Chains A and B, each alone.
Chain A
Amino acid sequence: MIVSAIESAIVRGPELGPVGKPGSTVLRCRMPPRATAARPYRILPMPTRAADSPSVTPSAARAALGDLVRWMTDQGWRPHEFQQAVWEDHLAGGSGLVHVPTGAGKTYAAYFGPLAEMIAEARAATDAGTKVTGPRTLYLTPLRAVSRDVEKALTRPAKELGVKIRVETRTGDTSSYTRKKQRAELPQVLITTPESLSLLLTYPEARERFQGLHSVVLDEWHELLASKRGVQTELAIARLRAWLPNLRTRALSATLSNLDEAAQSAVGAGRRFTLTSARMDRPVHIETLIPDNPGRFPWAGHLGLKMLPDVLASLDAERSTLIFCNTRSQAERWFHAIEAAKPEWRGHMGLHHGSIDRDDRTRTENGLKDGSVRLVVATSSLDLGVDFAPVERVYQIGSPKGVARLMQRAGRASHRPGEPCHIVCVPTHALELVEIAAVRRAIAAGEIEPRRFDTKPLDVLAQHMVTCALGGGFDADAFYAEVRGAQAYADLTREDFDWTLRLVTEGGGTLAAYPEYRKVTHEGEGRHAAPEGKPAQLHRLNIGTITGDATMEIRFVGGKRLGSIEEHFVGKLRVGERFVFAGRVLRFHRAKDLTCFVRPATGRSNHTPIWSGTRLPISESLAEGVRSAMGSLSAGDEAEPEFAAAAPIIEAQSRLSHTPSEGELLVESCETREGSHLFVYPFEGRLVNLGIASLAALRLGRRRPATFTIAANDYGFELLCERGEDFAEWVDEELFTSEQLMEDISEAVNVGELSKRQFREVARVSGLVFQSYPGAHRSMRQLHASSSLLYDVLTDFDPDNLLLAQARREVLDRQFERSRLARTLARLASATVIRRAVKRPTPLGLPLVIERVGGQISSETLEDRIARATKQWEADLRKAPKRERTT
């Protein structure tokens, strides 16, 4: 009976999927309700292929899989159809991607195929009186914090079947003793991160050590995909695949709309893959917390603490609850505020974000599992595969930012099949009501965001080249082919490849080689290698693509580590100053080396660290939804429950200015003491709005010299300039032309500081700057240079350096979402421009005035701007005669 159900659910065909490569297979399985009682189950006889290891026969692997299935049923779990489909595919030699909701059993779906082979091999070895050595399965996870849970899950089945399989973790946190042991011999199952894998590849004996590996599992692939870490992973696997042509890869992913691309990047360019998905129909139910008197909703802000009383009133201390915030500082503030209002809950509360010490985070996760913690305030650190018991209630404070994101968070609420996922949204200002309604509509229409990919970043390639040169070396031609086997570099030109190779061998990528530079050496006939020594040591210390501001460890004086904190925040603290971190009030004691020492303090504080780069823009799907919702709101639509609450602000906007409907572009101008403001509302997410703002500032500045300060948020942007300079009339379709777009935006990016900021990442990944670390040898200090300094040096002395070009391109791609920017410009060029002169900022404009953070674009010289500023200082000095001039 079961057999026929499975057969009917498996669709095999080469033509499926829009981007599916010929020969790829798509498996769609229905998700049966999770049964608690064990039901009989047997393995389908299907054609199989022997595993790479000579001692494993197909029948032995199949028998081991049968044992694993029996073990599962003994636990009271019934194997799902999709799991069985993946096992079969694996035993038949397939690779691919598994796409099922969180908590559905992905891990065992990917793992039992390789495990069956490992068990069979171990049994054969026992019979023959030999021992299995070396790695068989590589389990890659994006978060090292997760690996402990994974290790437990991967160890259990074989152990309980009485088969000895060595399952070990190797991450940056692994003890040096274990590392040393692993250096001698890798375990059969190695759980690791992309960075640790790359590090293993830097050792000359890497190829030998990975001999015998037959499977790679890529956990949380959707998280890695869209980043340079994903690209780094692809390159590392391409390396392994070059050594082990029959290597099988299985990626695990949550909700995505471009699964084919995701699968292709997991298995490598041009290779066939199997997509396995299980639909689990769990409707998402979104409720919005609307206060009794919505009139008091603020027009701006993102902390949302005004909603605290309403949230407290709806919280139930007896039910496990998760409160998601968008940023770490917001999470700190909410945790602190809830704790202050409900001191009796203190013992059952937890705070979870990426900067809190791992042990504390683990304690919170475990507390949630065993019920001792019932209320957790978290950020996206809990979005990632942290597997914990589902909670009873989920809250989202502030904008949901994206459709998939809110669905994933809602999915944390009680996992009962068929029951809806329920999430309570807490808007922090009135316009977020519109966003929430837009998400609900997008979910209903099935509009989920795709994940965009980083394509051929040369900095990651440069790092990988050094890694491979150290790890046994390479032949340029073969290595070019190998790199193109990674989907991210499938269309890498030989020219770019050779440029990057010159970067690591000669320093300068273009004309002149840098004198005395050496990192990778060309040994003739295309053979490249790297010597051991200081450069190699520096390279190993700095492998990876994760960049952030310089962080400092934060700990109690003479005691416990609390987490990490950004250096520039510490730089601004005065001794004795109080601030909130990890849910505690602390007093700054002193900073030494890379540690910030604190003492516990009492009382309250509103001072929380700000971590940079933590604010996401709203997604393209959501932005479109918001524009449409704004339009229907101004037309008097009341279909969504949020609309009634949002009506007052929309009415105010309409009365003071205008509420744009779809197809309209609203432009407001106003004069204040600060200067002349120009507000434009493309409703396209903060990054794209910022890109358009830079472009507009550049183009306006060409028509008349001026200096603009730019502010942007998810709805629109503001250009501020000197008083009396009204630019509203200048906003026309020509301003948004796509002609000269790349040239203009590149110039705007050059003028602004953005590419300099982006260069930090490029410089770090390509090995131009190194992260300082505690206990660094003194000679390292001579190598200290900030990336912005290097940016200036390169601009002065090697302006054609491709890494500069890459920084500019990344600003365009990532900061401004280039393709989205082009689509937006096309939309704006055909929009009807509505101009309004207003007396003061409107409900749409006020948030921009309040949160003015952004770059400047100027067509004036620095001297002119300082001269102008000097006049202002002199005026200020005249106004404040009491303050003596200090000369």
Chain B
Amino acid sequence: MAVDVAGERIELMPERGAHWREGGAMLVSDLHLGKSGVFRAAGIAVPDGDAHEQLDRLAQGLARTRAERLIIIGDLLHAPAGLTPSLVEAVAAWRKRHTQDWLVVPGNHDRRLEDLTDAWRLDIKPEIYTEGPFRFRHEPAIGPGTPTDGFVWSGHTHPAVRLRLATGSVRLPAFVIGPHRAILPAFSRFTGGVVHVPEPGDRLFAVTPNAVIEAPVELRA
């Protein structure tokens, strides 16, 4: 599903990322790597495997789009407790096989991110990072009235959309594209979502297992 955002052509990907062709970059946010490990460390029996599934999905998206860069708009990590040696090693090994650059805009969960700069070859950017017509920041601008000088890409809220089908309803992760800002769905599947309350001008794109589909917008009275 391709859309026009601030004059740029953006492909919304069923892998839960966005492809910015002009910038040669794939955009993702909210990977929350190590989340299942945080649970296990607290004595909650959650299986391992979420990180590998994400890395596979990233590899698939990068191969398909041939993007040379990955812009991670925050929350690459979940919490220090989940950052186990085996996870650090697994990502480092993956980074050796996949040569793209990783640009990381830090999010609220990204504590101890700088420790990984070498092992994961991270290019850590400031909290607001500007490139071309876009600004990248983890948390969406607060309130619609906040002045912006540029189109903002963010994550953080894990937006979802509830679709009313003839026979009931389903909740799916979603891209939110507004006139001045866009919010990416959480890349991690081990995250909950918040049904997005649309603001005027928002378009919503639901991610199904194999496609991205534009969903109708119901504005609240």
Binding site for B on A (CB under 8 A): 503-504, 507-508, 512, 514-519, 534-536, 538-539, 675, 707-709, 720-722, 766-770, 779, 782-786, 789-790, 792-794, 796-798, 801, 855-856, 858, 862-863, 865-866, 868-870, 872-873, 877, 885-887
Asked if A866 contacts B37 (CB within 8 A), the reply is no
**CB neighbours of A519 from chain B (8 A):** 43, 45
Contacts A538-B42, A783-B42, A866-B206 hold; do A886 and B217 have CB atoms under 8 A apart?
A: yes
Q: How far is the CB of B221 from chain A (nearest CB, A)?
A: 10
Asked if A869 contacts B163 (CB within 8 A), the reply is yes
Asked if B211 contacts A767 (CB within 8 A), the reply is no
CA separation between A322 and B39, bound complex, in Å? 48
Smallest Cβ-Cβ distance to A794: which chain B residue: B47
Asked if A515 contacts B166 (CB within 8 A), the reply is no
Asked if B170 contacts A535 (CB within 8 A), the reply is no
**CB neighbours of B50 from chain A (8 A):** 793, 797
CA separation between A675 and B80, bound complex, in Å? 53
Q: How far is the CB of B54 from chain A (nearest CB, A)?
A: 12
Smallest Cβ-Cβ distance to A857: which chain B residue: B167
Interface string of B118-149 (1 = CB under 8 A from A): 00000000000000000000000000000000
- The 15 listed contacts between A and B (C-beta, < 8 Å) are A507-B46, A516-B40, A518-B40, A518-B43, A538-B42, A708-B167, A709-B168, A767-B43, A793-B47, A797-B49, A798-B49, A801-B47, A863-B211, A866-B163, A870-B213
Besides A793-B189, A796-B189, 9 new A-B residue pairs in contact (Cβ under 8 A), listed by A number: A504-B45, A516-B84, A539-B43, A768-B46, A782-B78, A785-B39, A862-B209, A866-B165, A866-B213
Q: Does B200 contact A (CB under 8 A)?
A: yes
**CB neighbours of B200 from chain A (8 A):** 886
Interface of B is mostly: loop
Which listed residue (B42, B48, B191, B203) contacts A515, Cβ 8 A? Answer: B48
CA separation between A798 and B198, bound complex, in Å? 36
Asked if B190 contacts A785 (CB within 8 A), the reply is yes
Contacts A797-B50, A866-B206 hold; do A515 and B84 have CB atoms under 8 A apart?
A: yes
Which listed residue (A516, A796, A869) contacts B37, Cβ 8 A? Answer: A516
**CB neighbours of B37 from chain A (8 A):** 515-516
Asked if B165 contacts A865 (CB within 8 A), the reply is yes
Q: Does B36 contact A (CB under 8 A)?
A: yes
Which listed residue (B36, B43, B190, B210) contacts A538, Cβ 8 A? Answer: B43
Q: How far is the CB of A859 from chain B (nearest CB, A)?
A: 12
Asked if A514 contacts B40 (CB within 8 A), the reply is yes
CA separation between A856 and B203, bound complex, in Å? 28
Smallest Cβ-Cβ distance to B38: which chain A residue: A782
Contacts A862-B208, A863-B211, A886-B200 hold; do A786 and B166 have CB atoms under 8 A apart?
A: no
Which listed residue (B48, B166, B170, B203) contacts A514, Cβ 8 A? Answer: B48
Asked if B163 contacts A507 (CB within 8 A), the reply is no
Smallest Cβ-Cβ distance to B41: which chain A residue: A516
Residue from B42, B163, B209 with most neighbouring chain A CB atoms (10 Å): B42
Asked if A869 contacts B165 (CB within 8 A), the reply is yes
Residues of chain B from 1 to 52 with CB closer than 8 A to chain A in the complex: 35-50
CA separation between A834 and B198, bound complex, in Å? 50
CA separation between A516 and B46, bound complex, in Å? 11
Asked if A783 contacts B44 (CB within 8 A), the reply is yes
**CB neighbours of B81 from chain A (8 A):** 782
Residue from B198, B201, B208 with most neighbouring chain A CB atoms (10 Å): B208
Which listed residue (B48, B164, B219) contacts A797, Cβ 8 A? Answer: B48
Residues of chain B from 62 to 107 with CB closer than 8 A to chain A in the complex: 78-79, 81, 84, 86
Asked if A785 contacts B192 (CB within 8 A), the reply is yes
Contacts A793-B36, A796-B53 hold; do A508 and B216 have CB atoms under 8 A apart?
A: no
Contacts A516-B37, A720-B167, A869-B164 hold; do A887 and B203 have CB atoms under 8 A apart?
A: yes
Q: How far is the CB of B123 from chain A (nearest CB, A)?
A: 26
**CB neighbours of B48 from chain A (8 A):** 512, 514-515, 797
Which listed residue (A504, A535, A872) contacts B42, Cβ 8 A? Answer: A535
Residues of chain B from 163 to 198 with CB closer than 8 A to chain A in the complex: 163-168, 170, 189-192, 198
Asked if B44 contacts A767 (CB within 8 A), the reply is yes
**CB neighbours of A720 from chain B (8 A):** 167
Asked if A515 contacts B49 (CB within 8 A), the reply is no
Contacts A515-B37, A538-B42, A708-B167 hold; do A886 and B213 have CB atoms under 8 A apart?
A: no
Asked if A792 contacts B189 (CB within 8 A), the reply is yes
